[in-house]
Amino acid sequence: MRQQEADREVYVCYYCAIVSARVLSNGGILAGNKLMSGYIYRRCTLLCAGILHGRVLWYFTESIRNSATKLLEMNGSEFSDNFDSDFYSSQIYPNRLNPQIHSQFLLRQIIKFCQDKKLSPNSLRVLDYGSGPAPVLAMGFSSIAREIVLAEYEEGHRDYIKKWLSNSPGCHDWSFYVKYIAELEGTPHESELSERAMKEKMAAVVQCDITVDSFISEGYEGPYDIVLSSLCMENACKSIEDYRAAMKKLVSLVNKEGYFLLFAAIRENSEIGFYTVNNKIMYNLPVKRNDVLKSAEESGVLLLVEEDWPAPLWGIHNTEKYTLFVFQKLC
């Protein structure tokens, strides 16, 4: 118990060190030089982590310490009210090209996957499980899909997507991504037509909860030719055992010889994970590469593709890297 308390104290201070390094790098000293600011942030974080590894504890303001402690006491579901759909959409899906935006990396990989596999146009049934408030990744499959289903736990996120589908005001403008997908597919002149076609293929936005037996709305249990899940299971699961069970559930929705695409936050050296949305701390189960591969083996899928994407410099988080895994169901 004493060791656990000591490790907890070290982690709290480690989080404080990251926050303090971020404050230092963004404090105006190096304003206007983002690359140098990011460099200072990384170096400060590494320095503080090295000091803490030696059990030399640094104490910062009570407010930061309390936030870090609260992180360790809460699970993912308790952060639901803090996850703002509009802010998340504008932060994670900015309407500009940016090499540090994971959604743009994923779209490039999705289009490449569809082209490499020579998937027939308008032929496949696709599920985006844990879509959040954004239809963007599902949109990447629109050229090969005959039907797309988006499954999401949060009612507010589901309503946000439905607003876009019904052309209601007050939601994020996704037209940049419609054009980006058209360019990736080599049909930029068709972007104006693409958005209408994408919406027509999105057959349903349904409720899901990977932690329960009935983990997707009745009538949408599959099978699907392609199931995509991006940064979902590590948010919902409390343990690696839960994570393995969750992957088995998702794979059960996939057709024989169908595909399961998983985008995961990888943390090889952390006992707990976190990130922030709108300056609010969100819990994240730390998942190692081997956890993913072991879960996949137990679920009966074969690894076809593995593509890493470095964790961005911006934001407060302890993700080491992100990885896209493409699996095929064997039976």
Say yes or no to pLDDT of 9 above 80.
no
Query: How many independent structural domains does the chain possess?
Result: 2
On whether both 87 and 199 belong to a single domain, the answer is: yes
Full residue range of the structural domain in which residue 110 is found: 79-329
Q: Provide φ and ψ at 283, rounded to 5°.
A: -75, 145
Distance CA 226, CA 215 (A): 17
Q: CB 159: neighbour CB atoms within 10 A? A: 15
On whether both 55 and 113 belong to a single domain, the answer is: no
Residue with tokens 């009210």: 81
Please tell me the total number of residues recorded for the chain in this structure. 331
Q: What CATH number does residue 109 fall under?
A: 3.40.50.150
**Any idea what DSSP says for residue 51?**
H
On whether both 66 and 98 belong to a single domain, the answer is: no
Q: What share of the chain is helix, strand, coil (3-state, %, to 5)?
A: 45, 20, 30
Look up residue 317 and give its two tokens: 């988080």
pLDDT band at 273 (very low <50, low <70, confident <90, very high): confident
Q: Provide φ and ψ at 323, rounded to 5°.
A: -135, 135
On whether both 95 and 178 belong to a single domain, the answer is: yes
On whether both 64 and 154 belong to a single domain, the answer is: no
Look up residue 240 and give its two tokens: 């690696």
- Domain limit, last residue, from 73, 94, 126: 73
- Domain limit, last residue, from 50, 73, 96: 73
On whether both 8 and 58 belong to a single domain, the answer is: yes
3-class secondary-structure state, position 325: strand
Sheet strands (E) in 136-223 = 145-152, 202-207
pLDDT per position as a tens digit, 103-144: 899 999 999 999 999 999 999 999 999 999 999 999 999 999
On whether both 224 and 261 belong to a single domain, the answer is: yes
What is the pLDDT averaged over residues 231-260? Answer: 96
Q: CB 118: neighbour CB atoms within 10 A? A: 7
List C-alpha distances in Å: 15 to 60, 137, 150, 153, 197. 10, 31, 34, 28, 45
Q: CB 248: neighbour CB atoms within 10 A? A: 15
What is the pLDDT averaged over residues 12-32? Answer: 44
Contact 265, 292 (CB under 8 A): no
On whether both 132 and 34 belong to a single domain, the answer is: no
On whether both 31 and 162 belong to a single domain, the answer is: no
CA 274-311-24 angle, to 5 degrees, is 70
Strands 301-310 and 321-329: antiparallel
pTM here is 0.78
Distance CA 220, CA 253 (A): 9
Distance CA 191, CA 60 (A): 51
pLDDT per position as a tens digit, 55-88: 433 333 344 344 444 544 444 445 455 578 888 8
What is the pLDDT averaged over residues 204-211? Answer: 97
- Domain limit, last residue, from 73, 90, 118: 73
On whether both 12 and 125 belong to a single domain, the answer is: no
